[in-house]
Amino acid sequence: MDDFAKARKAFYAQIEEYWADLYGEEYSLYDLYEITKEEIHKIRESTNRIGHIFYKTASLLRTVNDETLLFLGFPRETLAYIRINSLSVESVIARLDLIGTGRTYKCMEINSDTPTFIKELHHVNGLICEAFDRHNPNTGYEKQLALAVEKAVIESLEYLGGALEAPHVVFTAHGDNVEDANTAGYLRGLLPFPSSFAPLDQLQIIRHVGLFDGEGKPIHVLYRQTFPVENFIEDEDEEGNPIGLWLLELVEQKKVAVVNPPSAFLLQSKAVQAIIWALHEEGNPFFSEEEHQWIEEHFLPTYLEPDRFLESRTKYVMKPAFGREGDTVKIFEGDGTVAAEDSHNSYAHYLPVYQKYVELPTAAFQSVKGKRQGSYMFGSFLIGGKAGAVGIRIGNPITDNLSYFLPVGITKREVGS
């Protein structure tokens, strides 16, 4: 092991319950991308505008009929669930994937239901900045995150009727997934009042009665940051009971509350971007003149068919309406031939969405394998509806679960100027 690899290992060994390596590979880089205050300001301004458009659209989607929601790819089993508006925000923790285009930032997608990258940007980024003597652009945003988590739990208890004698708040994740379990543990550590962690396989459901932890204690608020709705609607117990659907029923019956809330899943479908773009193209008065300007600047043309791109011979991307980590994503040339594709095809059964292709910028970075070049995008958080921490995923042209976390920092000289 060379000196750089030793320094990286020693640095990350100091951070408790953190996954510096994933899948047996380097994940968190011992390096830093220098960014200007102006660029950080533009990213957060773009994030607030994009978030506003998505959240306004959610209010519209809750009013449409079932056929429209099914057309947008939502599973029939979720239709009653996604119309529930249990909190004052559509999503407590959401993350935008942004591409810097030189002049502005374009939104590739929003992960409003189960975003990861949370501890990395809100906690670890600052530690890297200290080590590299740079100013942390995410200073103060860990407190913003803590307040949002606390508010979400309190509002969830109010949704259940409030005044519970001994509310039981449980954070859950797959216990054998180090990233998911430690993300849940990190969020739980931000809460200023008692809560518990229970692995998903220890949760028990009694239909129409309640959700219980491994000791049989009733759960009032389930914080399931990393467990997607589209996964648990297919969840069954050993006897074949549809326990995931039973959980949705419990939420509808106000016997348990979940965070992120149901409205977060309403925005998770990438088909929502096709709705936003269609309303924009027709100049629909649902959006104000200023909002139309924001959509034009920050959103990419997105459709439910590739015809427009084929007619104009424009390069485009096909994504599943529900999917993660680049899985099932394909990049097409303007003539419809495949230019690149992810090796996984796990989400092929979901509605495909077609979006104009924008090439990711590239940057150099230092890894244990040496100096390398990679394609990168910004992850920019919406916390309680407001712009939060910012960071970079860097790696292949299709960002996947083997992409690296590259921290960001501002030079001390610029901060003091």
Q: Can you give the residue ranges of every domain in the chain? A: 271-356
Short-list 290, 263, 218, 322, CA closest to 92: 263
Residue 19's pLDDT is what?
Answer: 97
Per 3-state DSSP, the chain is made up of helix, strand and coil in percentages (nearest 5) of 35, 25, 40
Record the pTM. 0.95
Name residues whose C-beta falls within 8 Å of residue 3's C-beta, 6 or more positions apart in sequence: none
Tokens standing for residue 109: 């997608």
Residue 76's pLDDT is what?
Answer: 94
Q: Where are the beta strands (DSSP E) in 57-114?
A: 93-100, 105-111
Residue 163's pLDDT is what?
Answer: 66
Which residues of the chain have a pLDDT value below 70?
163, 399-401, 414-417
Place of tokens 């326990």: 243
Assess contact for 225 and 261: CB atoms under 8 A.
no
Residue 346's pLDDT is what?
Answer: 79
Distance of CA 232 to CAs 37, 179, 226, 243, 332, Å? 41, 19, 11, 8, 32
Residue 415's pLDDT is what?
Answer: 53
Paired sense of beta strands 408-411 and 169-171, if any? unpaired
Three-class secondary structure of residue 330 per DSSP: strand
